[in-house]
Amino acid sequence: MEDALAERLSRVSKFDLPSIPCSIPLECHPEFTRISEVTDAWAIRMLGITDPYERKKAIQARFGLLTALATPRGESSKLEVASKHFWTFFVLDDIAETDFGEEEGQKAADILLEVAEGSYVFSEKEKQKNPSYAMFEEVMSSFRSLMDPPLFARYMTCLKNFLDSVVEEASLRFARSIPSLEKYQLLRRETVFVEASGGIMCEFCMDLKLDKGVVESPEFVAFVKAVETEAEILQLQKKVMKMGVETGNKDLVEYATWYPCFASGHLRWSYVTGRYHGLDNPLLNGEPFHGTWFLHPEVTLMLPFGAKCGDHPWIARS
């Protein structure tokens, strides 16, 4: 099946990227430039990047901007930690997709969980071999010291689900097995790390206190899991906000207000990151674009529609 799919894809000469509308408000943290500069410099130092091309790749990925769009309010010092968290998991994701076999993946996942809870410390040799381990260890140490214990416990549950899904994907690759669409969607939901990178970071950065009764309520659980479906997000947002207003829970109202920005922010970041569209791409001007991609062995031509020209504050840095 895999060979047949690869052969079919090799015959594709063009594809259309449709316009993807989103009515969820788009916001950006006012300190995104400083947050980006600080966390990019941290990642470049931790990964030992010295090559100018690799440095440009790191900066034009714009992970700091992703953090500022996904969590547009909150303490800037905590957003720095959240940005380091995004950086770390994108690096780990790249390693998992290329280096993890079935057994290696499970072993690495088990160790990462122990590191996250503080029961295992990487040796200097391990961190020199895999610099992302040092990044992970630092971020988890920050979470343990800065997060309230109940919030960190919820984060750990999300982390385990994420790692289990990464290992399962590695197992499918190892077996050369293509999952069903439904199975892929379930795996992808966990590997995108929505609840942790969106919901828990919202609570963490904005210092929101949501008790067990709230986070386990059917309305809240449905709201967190609906972040991929715009109509559902907006419908459940109203329910959760109403619940917060009726109970006088201002933190819940704040959560309901800002958590949906993860969806609109993640979508917009997808239009401005060099990770998905290549370095110095003139289409990446801060605005959504759509059009037809013509594929050729030596060059890819794009006929975009709907993109605006000119400078944009989100992509001022190179």
pLDDT tens-digit profile of 196-234?
Answer: 999 999 999 999 999 999 999 999 999 998 866 788 999
Joined together, the tokens standing for residue 62 give: 């714009």
Give residue-wise pLDDT tens across range 77-122.
Answer: 999 999 999 999 999 888 777 666 667 778 889 999 999 999 999 9
Residues near 220 by beta carbon (within 8 Å), at least 6 away in sequence? 210, 214, 240
Domain boundaries, given as residue ranges, for the chain: 27-283
Per DSSP, 67 falls in state H
Q: How many CB atoms lie within 10 A of CB 193?
A: 21
DSSP one-letter code for 16: E
Euclidean distance between CA atoms 146 and 204, whole angstroms = 8
**pTM of the predicted structure, to 2 decimals:** 0.89
Tokens read off for 168: 């399962």
CATH class of 27-283: mainly alpha
- Structure confidence at residue 99 (pLDDT): 61
Phi then psi for residue 23, to 5 deg, are -95, 0
Structure letter (DSSP) for residue 251: H
> Can you give the pLDDT at residue 318?
45
Report in angstroms the alpha-carbon separations of 311 from 26, 259, 270, 276, 308: 18, 28, 18, 20, 9
pLDDT of residue 317 exceeding 70, the answer is: no
pLDDT tens string 233-276: 999 999 999 999 999 999 999 999 999 999 999 999 999 999 98
Alpha-carbon gap, residue 225 to 222, rounded angstroms: 5
How much is the average pLDDT of 56-63?
A: 95
Structure confidence at residue 245 (pLDDT): 97
Phi, psi of 183 (to 5 degrees): -65, -40
Q: How confident is the model at residue 124 (pLDDT cuts 50, 70, 90)?
A: very high
Q: How far apart are CA 78 and CA 31, in angstroms?
A: 12
